[in-house]
Amino acid sequence: MIETGKRPLYALGIETSCDETSAAVVELGDRGGNIRSNIVLSQIAEHSAFGGVVPEIAARAHVEALDGVIRAALGEADMTLSDLDLVAATAGPGLIGGLIVGLMTGKAVAAASGLPLVPVNHLEAHALTARLTNGTPFPYLLLLVSGGHTQIVLVRGVGKYDRWATTIDDALGEAFDKTAKLLGLPYPGGPAVEQAARNGDAKRFTLPRPLRGEARPDFSFSGLKTAVRQTANELAPVSEQDVSDICASFQQAIVDTLGERVGKSLGRFREEFPDFAAPTLVVAGGVAANNAIRTALEALCAEHGMQLVAPPAALCSDNGAMIAWAGLERFTAGLADNDALSFAPRPRWPLDEFAAPLVGHGKRGAKA
């Protein structure tokens, strides 16, 4: 639990890294964090016709909506800018257009109100959300699974991250979205695939479990995605039951792959921290809302004598509350940048700056 030793601190968080426009007010007191408001405006309707996020449309939507979303967040929290202690805004990684909108707005609000600005790494915000919701103590292991990232990170403290594993090609969320698009399911693909899988036979199709048995702890999903396409092509035209069975088989392959891959890092964590009283795996990112994955990870953690912390689904996807909380964590840890108003948005911003780049998915974030 974080203790300020003083009165509560309040942060406004701004999130515009992809296709959610969000603002939130979060309080940090002696009992930890409290979400006073968390307004999230989705752009699903704007992007659904394209089967994915269109960067220019996303940026324009942020411009049109962000001022109103901030007003709504302050209103729901029953606060004004004069009640705040800092402004936190996502500065990367993400789509550059959206990052510019959110960070520039954060700078304007901070400058106009005389508040400090804390530029936030979007990945760090995901990494620290478990401390907002559960007060999880350091160190812990993070499985970050989203549309743009799949990695396992040792979280030693605020600003202290060691990447243990990453994807060598596609991110897990990307694999879900592309599978959904291939099968004619609606956007966003992750929830659509999960829904279809509930009515499917996971044993009907034998799909690969990439990197199974390899000593390296990394992930790969490109081959699995290709196998799904080949299966669908062989069946064409696919029936509704075919789609459900493919989704169930795909999801089971994901669950099996995560179990085998993540298990390696859980074992390493127990070896490196044998006397730690509360060994924890935190799962974060949009794909962490998948119930089949959560259930499998709970069983895996039980096997390794660890606990699983999975934030509520609403805090797994992009949201302003996690940005506000990360800003508070950095501010109270003395990591706020005195020159933050000149901070430039970073479309690539790995948590572990020293991790070696990998090929494949590194085109979108080699070190992330």
Identify the pLDDT of residue 359. Answer: 56
Regarding whether 167 and 43 lie in a shared domain, the answer is no
Regarding whether 332 and 300 lie in a shared domain, the answer is no
Residue at 188 is within a domain: yes
Identify the pLDDT of residue 208. Answer: 96
Residue at 357 is within a domain: no
Residue at 365 is within a domain: no
Regarding whether 122 and 238 lie in a shared domain, the answer is no
Helix/strand/coil (H, E, C) string of 5-63? CCCCEEEEEEECCCCEEEEEEEEEECCEEEEEEEEEEECHHHHHHHCCCCHHHHHHHHH
Regarding whether 145 and 105 lie in a shared domain, the answer is no
Residue at 360 is within a domain: no
> How many CA atoms lie within 13 Å of 160's alpha carbon, on the beta-carbon side?
8
Identify the pLDDT of residue 165. Answer: 97
Structure tokens at 80: 């004004």
Instruction: Provide the β-strand partners of residue 28.
Output: 9, 33
Regarding whether 188 and 91 lie in a shared domain, the answer is no
pTM: 0.93
Instruction: Provide the β-strand partners of residue 15.
Output: 22
Per-position pLDDT tens, the chain of length 368:
445 557 899 999 999 999 999 999 999 998 899 999 999 999 888 998 888 899 999 999 999 999 999 999 999 999 999 999 999 999 999 999 999 999 999 999 999 999 999 999 999 999 999 999 999 999 999 999 988 899 999 999 999 999 999 999 999 999 999 999 999 999 889 999 999 999 999 999 999 999 999 999 999 999 999 999 999 999 999 999 999 999 999 999 999 999 999 999 999 999 999 999 889 999 999 899 999 999 999 999 999 999 999 999 999 999 999 999 999 999 999 998 878 999 999 999 999 988 887 754 434 433 33
Residue at 356 is within a domain: no
Regarding whether 148 and 180 lie in a shared domain, the answer is yes
Regarding whether 302 and 153 lie in a shared domain, the answer is yes
What is the residue range of 224's domain? 139-310
Regarding whether 226 and 322 lie in a shared domain, the answer is no
Residue at 21 is within a domain: yes
Q: What CATH number has the domain bearing residue 267?
A: 3.30.420.40
Residue at 33 is within a domain: yes
Regarding whether 150 and 293 lie in a shared domain, the answer is yes
Regarding whether 304 and 203 lie in a shared domain, the answer is yes
Residue at 208 is within a domain: yes
Regarding whether 207 and 121 lie in a shared domain, the answer is no
Regarding whether 190 and 103 lie in a shared domain, the answer is no
Identify the pLDDT of residue 45. Answer: 87
Total domains in the fold of the chain: 2
